[in-house]
Amino acid sequence: MGFGEKLWCPQAHAALLRLLDSELYLMEVMKKWMSQRAKSEREFSAQLHSMAAMVEKLDRSQHGAGMDYISQLNKVRSSPAPSSVCVCVCVCVCVYVLESERNKTCFTFTSKCLSMLFCPVEQSWGVLVYQTDTLSHVMKKSAEDLLDGPISKLSLLIRDKQQLRKTFTEQWNLLKQELSKVHLYTSPSRTQVTQTELERMKSSYRQAAKDAAQAKRKLEEASKDKEREKAKERNIKALAKLYELHNEYVLSVRAARVYHQHHYSRIQPGLLQALQSLQEEMVLMLKEVLLEYFEISSFLNQDMVQIHGEMSSALTAINPNTEYQSFIQQNRSIGEIPDGAELECGLLDDAEQLQPGQIELNDLTLEAVQHKLTALEEELMDLARTMGSQQTSLEHLELQLEAEQEGVKRGQRIYQFSKRHALEECRQQVALSQGIRARLEVQRVLLKEKLDQLGPRDPPSALSPDPEASPPLSVTGIAHVSEGRWEGGGGSAGFPDNVLGLFSGNGGGLVLSPVGQEVERPLEQQTWYHGAIPRLEVQQLLTKDGDFLVRKSQEKPGYVLSVHWSGACKHFLVQNKDNMYCLDGESFHTIPQLIQQYQTSQQHVTKKSEVVLRRPVLKDKWVLEHDDIILGHIIGRGNFGEVYKGQLRPDNTPVAVKTCKNNLPLEQKSKFLIEARSAHTHTHTHTHTHTHTHAHAHAALYSHPTLSRILKQYDHPNVVKLIGVCTQKQPIYIVMELIQGSGDFLTFLRNQGRDLKPKALVKMAENVASGMAYLESKKCIHRDLAARNCLVAENNSVKISDFGMSRQDDDGVYLAEGGLRQIPIKWTAPEALNYGRYTTQSDVWSFGILLWETFSLGLTPYMSMSNQQTRDEVEKGYRMPAPHACPVEIARIMNNCWQYDPQNRPSFKKLRAELSAIHKK
């Protein structure tokens, strides 16, 4: 590869000129640098010579003994061969003085040098003066050699380089000029065209052709003989000129083509190759100049080698293995290692039922123990992945250092220290992780053993038995529990007003037949009783004059009759006096009897109003009765209670039933009902707190359509179906479609993912995209899309579960309030974390994380980062690399899902189509 082959274009020519200029500048710097060295050595030699002249001048000023002293010095100077010791001293002194002058430092003598100086005064002084004067001549000759040799040659080389640049530039321009004679040269701006000989010939050729055609046309038009003869003559001349120009044009084009080929194949490559050859020759000459400079300016000799040998011996005596032995001996620790934590039994003096060192498992601690065990197992799983990564890094560093240790040279060890430091740090991290694992494992074993001892049985009661309390519910009899009141009061089944309204429905204005036949049924079983729904919900249910329902009062204990009349909803508090119920007239033993009377008699509800009860609005079919559910065995445990396998009457449809424990605090029951509204087992995205007033709770929970009307819309093979809720008694039930398959998607990936081919994983991802596309079409936002919230059914089909049923506002955005304590940071889109803006596009971001989970076979995203680190890195633009063996198309889809601008992310409809196309390949 040479200049002629690769540097033929104008841009390469400009680069060559810049190269020549830079080389010229470099040689100029070298010349100035060498000249400064020669000047310094010349001045230094003059200073050394002046030292000898000064001694001689001082010696001449002495009288008598002084003359004898000088004679003795002269005798010493004239001695043909000074002793080797004195020569060594003089050389050492000269070298030290020289180096000190160059480095602008104070020179010192070693003890050995000082001992050398303490030889006989006359002899040492004579050798010192003589060798100093000799050194001045050596330095002067060195400076002259630098000027006559390297510096002179470098000046010639600079001149030759300048001439070469000039010649090359002229030759290049000449070739360019010759080439332009046979070409149409266009300037870089493409606006000015230079007329060449070839172009002028083309113009003449074009004009001759026009003249010939015109002469021929006139010949054909001539009618008279005389005119015809003249036209014929002109035609012949025009043709002759055309043929002549044609031949010349053909010859010129052929010549231009040949010259063009010759120019680019021989002439210009020859010029460039000659330049390269001369450049390489100059590089060789410059190398010789620098080597000559090095040889002249070097001051190395045997004496200096000897001094450095002694230094080396002293340094070799350093032994790292024994360096800190005395320090350890002087500062060693005294005493024994302190004891660890011990359980103080005295703390249990006032709690006789507690056993020292034993986990207490009862109805009050069961849920906390279960949650603690789950948290420990998840933490141990994350820690195992972290330790795997740490162990891999440790082994990698050990292999690297082992390979490098074999060929390490003295002085290179310092470059390995950072790796060795990292190795020890990695070992410490592994040791620390092992300690944490041991700490967590012992807790997990204690909790696991305690839960295994309990098995499927109910936990023992933590309180003393209450003879008036009802017996605990069994698993098989829970569906037939009689109606009861929670001691807290204020709501059906013991729940507050502001949460029972979650499960109200819209009967669509259906008219109930006369209620006489059902008047004996309890209020909670009446189809027109809706529980504790708020006024906002009532306004949505009552649409026509005469529509009515009965509900639980929000402001005070009791019940309210709500009726639509004259375009507005009227609310009448049912009075309760001595267990008798009335409005503004006759009293009845039960509210159903009261409602039957006013509906059948069509009398005004109160004396001051003209309101009449006409059509009861029925509860929706999604609000079920406890007696409609037959509970089976426990299939799992949720945040608030057990999950049962059950059957739905009357067709015995298999269902999954989530229950809420009776002994949960009011706040926990409220959370369970909120969870029921969202059909959500692990509600990570509900950010409303429960310390607000009832009014605030209503505003938060009922800003969207009711659960019943939402549930009617959702029917898709890739979405878990919520069948209904039971809210009239304890315990509250959430009834869902029973998925008989392999459990949640995340566990499935971790346990069976390695047995699946990529095509099967693509199909399962397509299932999720299909379900989300359906929810997208219903304007439903999931807010917690992740592998853990999907279930694997038969034939490995995937169904979306735990979708929040958050409805989009008019602008397609759901705004969440509150903190981030329960939000899954690593799955949530940036705009949702920053501004609480949940959209379908934020679900698309989560789908990208789910894709990563799928093809990593269940690994935790951003494994080595904390939640805050993940959030910061994502904001900076970091995106996870695709998992190992992930198809390229899937990696592209992931990155599209993780576009920072939500508008740039694809829709679920598009994602489903892309995944379907990938699966069909």
- Binding-site positions for ATP read 635-643, 658
CA distance 443 to 359: 10
Strand pairing partners for 186? 193
750: phi then psi, degrees, rounded to nearest 5: -70, -35
Active site residue 715: no
Instruction: Give the residue from 811, 800, 901 showing the smallest Cα distance to 850.
Output: 800
Which one of 145, 547, 784, 802 is the catalytic residue? 784
Lookup: tokens for 199: 């172009």
DSSP letters, 532-550, are S--HHHHHHH--STTEEEE
**C-alpha distances out from residue 860 to 275, 749, 863, 865, Å:** 62, 12, 5, 10
Backbone phi, psi, residue 297, to 5°? -90, -5
In sequence order, what E strands does 615-704 have? Answer: 615-616, 629-637, 642-648, 653-659
Torsions phi, psi for 380 (to 5 deg): -65, -35
* Token pair for 99: 């180096």
Cβ neighbourhood burial of 215 (10 Å; 0-12, 13-18, 19+): buried
d(C-alpha 370, C-alpha 447), whole Å: 8
Whole-angstrom Cα distance, residue 911 to residue 772? 10
Residue type at 134? T
Pairwise CA distance, residues 850 & 883, whole Å: 12
- Six-digit token pair at 425? 């740090």
List the beta bridge partners of residue 193.
186
Which residue in this structure is represented by tokens 């990695």? Answer: 426
642-648, strands of its sheet edge to edge: 629-637, 642-648, 653-659, 733-737, 722-726
Question: What letter represents residue 64's amino acid?
Answer: G
* C-alpha–C-alpha distance, residues 376 and 378, integer Å: 5
Distance CA 140, CA 43 (A): 8
What is the full DSSP assignment across 603-632?
--SSTT------EEPPPPTTB--GGGEEEE
Long-range contacts of 862-865 (CB under 8 A, 24+ apart): 862/826, 863/382, 863/385, 863/386, 863/389, 864/386, 864/389
Under 8 Å between Cβ of 858 and 746? yes
R_g over Cα of the chain: 50
CA torsion sign for 295, 297, 302, 305 is negative
Question: How many CB atoms are located within 10 Å of the residue 24 CB?
Answer: 16
Bridge partner list, 722: 736
Cα separation, 908 vs 913, in Å, equals: 8
Phi, psi angle pair for 721, to nearest 5°: -90, 130
Burial (Cβ within 10 Å: 0-12, 13-18, ≥19) of residue 791? buried
Instruction: Please measure the distance between the N-terminal and C-terminal CA atoms of the chain and give it in whole angstroms.
Output: 45
* C-alpha closest to that of 531 among 605, 593, 622: 622
Q: How far apart are CA 359 and CA 573, in angstroms?
A: 51
Question: 593 burial class (0-12, 13-18, 19+ CB within 10 angstroms)?
Answer: middle
Please enumerate, by residue number, every residue annotated as part of a binding site: 635-643, 658
Measured CA to CA, the distance from residue 787 to residue 752 in angstroms comes to 14
Q: For the chain, how many residues are written?
A: 921
Active site amino acids: 784
